Structure 1
């Protein structure tokens, strides 16, 4: 029979590209990783991993063990935490995934604050322009903004997110007329490519009439880093879509101007995605989610 240490070990194997990569994470030699894996396979009487020189892949049995083993470890962690309610009892690793700009500006600082409150928790935050959920190396929480495809993941809304069209005063002084979304076809547009969204399809709704307009832009500049696209806009290079929380200072200073204010862009709520429902989450995950729900609105209003 395998034990919790075996499950923890195999979870690392499942989340690694190769046995050598797993050995580096475990700070042991590759032969010792191979030997321990073989011992687990002998215990279960099945092959868990297909091995070759450079990579590994899970067999069907390995995939089932990785998925259900992770859930069992979470339940064990929750049981341990439920027995004691002290802060020091909240321990273990918290794995987070977020988009680049939002993660850098908000989730990173909040993660540090939380770790100071719960010193026995270690936090790993991975940022990406296309944050994804991996079945075998899944995070505890993924923070997401924008169009959300159908998913079996549990969704918690953290804050409403209003997007707006923006340009610098210098650009607006010299550009063609801009009275309707269709006029964008004659303008310099800047695209932010993230979250697998269609970055060149901009959709508008008139606030008063509810008239809709969909414009396919041909961006003169595009990037997967939000800070770069905003800097281009500040330099007068063209128009961008941006969340209101990310341009509060620029709007207040006048360095950016809200364009076509009679129209609304598609809203994209800021959400937390989790694999487990509230009943089955570990206490550290629940506490961090509650912490972000409490602190994030304050940060969005301040910045």
Structure 2
């Protein structure tokens, strides 16, 4: 026998690539996630997740459970919406997905604020430090940064977000600053592994000119932006990082922008939904809340 709480727990687990990520998303300890998963597998009599040193992967049974759980929870949410609509109130469960660092800094507070202003709404926020691995029905709004790969989703622009190439004064004092993109081949570079991008190919453009691609050999790489920025602040190398993440460090001169006149591809912030039609009242309301909050681009006042 499984409950809707079990289904929502497993959907949160299916949205991440490790038990540690799931624990952070659920705000519990990793042993608590492991214990609950073991109990669920024991009750169902099947293995749902394969664990390895590289993370977790759903078994065939796990994928089936995630798919059906998404459908069941989606139908329950739709039923709650219909009943709430008859009462003329915004209600039901709002499911939001966002990147880990950006979500912690800019989205978590907005989710809590929206729920506070809509007392009949409950909300969950799933944060991931890698590309989201989600059952198709397991979210209402996804905050996304950078290139959009799934053309079936509908994007609502939230805020502009440049990528900035930068390094600490300590590193520049020791190694000097690159004068052109090709000089990066002779510098210590820090790479961020995210969104299945080719992280060792950095592309630059000056004005309307042709793009210039530079293949770097990173001395350090990470799957989290926080680690990459900390390494750059400590003087370990040059990093290409989102404006939202380094604006305050650029303003304080802890990081110095490099290659003036050369631009990296932008990584603008958008909110994604599955369709423009039939948005629930809570989803439409949260979209409006997001767009109002980001209208002034909160990180731009730091530059």
TM (normalized to structure 1)? 0.76
Instruction: Using the TM superposition, give the Cα deviation of residue 177 of structure 1 relative to its aligned residue in structure 2, in angstroms.
Output: 5.1
RMSD over aligned Cα atoms: 3.4
Instruction: Say if 2:161 is the partner of 1:158.
Output: no
Instruction: Using the TM superposition, give the Cα deviation of residue 297 of structure 1 relative to its aligned residue in structure 2, in angstroms.
Output: 3.4
Instruction: Say if 2:46 is the partner of 1:53.
Output: yes
Instruction: Using the TM superposition, give the Cα deviation of residue 160 of structure 1 relative to its aligned residue in structure 2, in angstroms.
Output: 1.8
Distance between the aligned counterparts of 2:64 and 2:176, measured in 1?
Answer: 62
Partner of 2:279: 281
CA separation of 1:30/1:143 partners in 2, compared to 1, >3 Å: closer, same or farther?
Answer: closer
Partner of 2:175: 175
CA separation of 1:7/1:141 partners in 2, compared to 1, >3 Å: closer, same or farther?
Answer: farther
CA separation of 1:238/1:259 partners in 2, compared to 1, >3 Å: closer, same or farther?
Answer: same
Instruction: Using the TM superposition, give the Cα deviation of residue 201 of structure 1 relative to its aligned residue in structure 2, in angstroms.
Output: 1.5
Q: Which secondary structure does the structure 2 equivalent of 1:297 belong to?
A: coil
Partner of 1:237: 236
Instruction: Say if 2:192 is the partner of 1:192.
Output: yes
CA separation of 1:262/1:67 partners in 2, compared to 1, >3 Å: closer, same or farther?
Answer: same
Instruction: Say if 2:291 is the partner of 1:293.
Output: yes
Partner deviation per Cα, 1:76-135 (whole Å, 9 max, x = no partner)? 3333333334xxx32222221111111111011111211211123222111111132523
CA separation of 1:17/1:205 partners in 2, compared to 1, >3 Å: closer, same or farther?
Answer: closer
Partner deviation per Cα, 1:212-264 (whole Å, 9 max, x = no partner)? 21011111111122122111111111111112222222121111111002101
Q: Which secondary structure does the structure 2 equivalent of 1:247 belong to?
A: helix
Partner of 1:206: 206
**Contact 1:90 1:284 survives alignment (8 Å):** yes
Distance between the aligned counterparts of 1:172 and 1:13, measured in 2?
Answer: 47
Partner deviation per Cα, 1:142-191 (whole Å, 9 max, x = no partner)? 21112222342222221122111011112112214511111100000011
Distance between the aligned counterparts of 1:101 and 1:61, measured in 2?
Answer: 30
Q: Which is higher, the Rg of structure 1 or of structure 2?
A: 1
- Structure 1: any 5+ residue segments left out of the alignment? 1-5, 35-50
TM (normalized to structure 2)? 0.76
- Structure 2: any 5+ residue segments left out of the alignment? 15-32, 49-58
**Contact 2:90 2:120 survives alignment (8 Å):** yes
